[in-house]
């Protein structure tokens, strides 16, 4: 089983425990107003472009200004942006809970390799976590989630040096927009590599050679 297989199986079959759902709902409540305010401020400064989910995610994540805040504002921005299209049908807390576990798994995996120190581990992990959260939110099947992971992996970027700066906020905004785009493309049949994470040409080989990912996904982190 490849790394991508493990992640896809988790995303498709996971049943978040009540504690994880409560925590995710609390994060959405606490971050949601701030993200929306930030998005509105950015929209007022840069009003061009249609109010698509991708555009909303970009604006909200950029408006947050601090990608290193507690929780995962990149994932929350992605979830909220998509939820606004059909709020009655989408379980935002579930998607955020699953995306958060995946993002934290990615951070652990990326930071287990010295070479990864030059990249923004949180930025890259946030993109993958936001992508699978979007896929979960949109009800994608196993093939769809696999394509989301691959589409996100091929767009993964971000410099460690930019973290904590306004450039870091741009990285976060791009990650949120890319996550929405990847899930939307996958929903419409776009494909990607079968193992976008592992193998000789996958994300880890490029950004974190020698990484040692855990073999499981942990709901509760200390």
Q: pLDDT tens digits for 162-195? A: 677 777 778 888 999 999 999 999 999 999 999 9
Residue 205 CA to residue 213 CA, distance in Å, equals 12
Q: Which structural domains are found in the chain, ordered by start?
A: 3-207 (1.10.4100.10)
User: Is the pLDDT at 148 greater than 80, yes or no?
Assistant: yes
Rg (CA), the chain: 16
pLDDT number for residue 67? 43
Burial class (CB in 10 A: 0-12, 13-18, 19+), 44: exposed
CB 82 within 8 A of CB 188: no
Please state the φ and ψ torsions of residue 159, each to the nearest 5 degrees.
Answer: -95, 140
With cut-offs at 50, 70 and 90, classify the pLDDT of residue 161: low
User: Is the pLDDT at 135 greater than 90, yes or no?
Assistant: yes
With cut-offs at 50, 70 and 90, classify the pLDDT of residue 34: low
Please state the φ and ψ torsions of residue 162, each to the nearest 5 degrees.
Answer: -85, -10
Burial 104-138 (b: 16+ CB within 10 A, else e): bbbbbbbbbbeebeebbbbbbbbbbbbbbbbbbbb
Q: What are the residues whose beta carbons fall under 8 Å from the beta carbon of 177, sequence distance 6 or more?
A: 54, 55, 57, 58, 61
With cut-offs at 50, 70 and 90, classify the pLDDT of residue 158: confident
Considering only 1-10, 80-89, 158-167, 209-218, which range has the smallest mean pLDDT? 80-89
Report the pLDDT averaged over residues 68-91.
75
Report the pLDDT averaged over residues 200-209.
86
User: Is the pLDDT at 141 greater than 90, yes or no?
Assistant: yes
CB 71 within 8 A of CB 103: no
Residue 103 CA to residue 101 CA, distance in Å, equals 5
Provide the CA 102 distance to its chain's centre, in angstroms: 8
Residue 119 pairs in a beta bridge with 159
With cut-offs at 50, 70 and 90, classify the pLDDT of residue 85: low
User: Is the pLDDT at 222 greater than 50, yes or no?
Assistant: no
């Amino acid at each position: 089983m490849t790394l991508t297989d493990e992640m896809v199986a988790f995303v498709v079959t996971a049943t978040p425990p009540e504690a994880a759902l409560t925590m995710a709902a609390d994060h959405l409540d606490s971050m949601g107003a701030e993200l929306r305010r930030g998005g509105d401020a950015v929209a007022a400064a840069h009003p061009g472009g249609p109010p698509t989910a991708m555009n909303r995610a970009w604006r909200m994540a950029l408006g947050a200004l601090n990608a290193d805040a507690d929780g995962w504002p990149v994932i929350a921005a992605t979830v909220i942006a998509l939820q606004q299209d059909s709020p009655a049908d989408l379980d935002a807390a579930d998607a955020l809970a699953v995306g958060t576990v995946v993002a934290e798994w990615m951070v652990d995996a990326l930071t287990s390799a010295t070479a990864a120190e030059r990249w923004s581990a949180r930025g890259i992990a946030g993109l993958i976590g936001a992508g699978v959260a979007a896929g979960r939110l949109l009800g994608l099947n196993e093939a769809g989630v696999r394509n989301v992971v691959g589409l996100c992996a091929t767009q993964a970027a971000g410099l460690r040096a930019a973290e904590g700066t306004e450039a870091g906020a741009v990285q976060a905004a791009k990650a949120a927009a890319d996550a929405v785009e990847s899930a939307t493309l996958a929903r419409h049949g776009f494909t990607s590599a079968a193992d976008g994470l592992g193998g000789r040409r996958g994300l880890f080989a490029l950004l974190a050679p020698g990484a040692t990912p855990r073999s499981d996904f942990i709901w509760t982190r200390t």
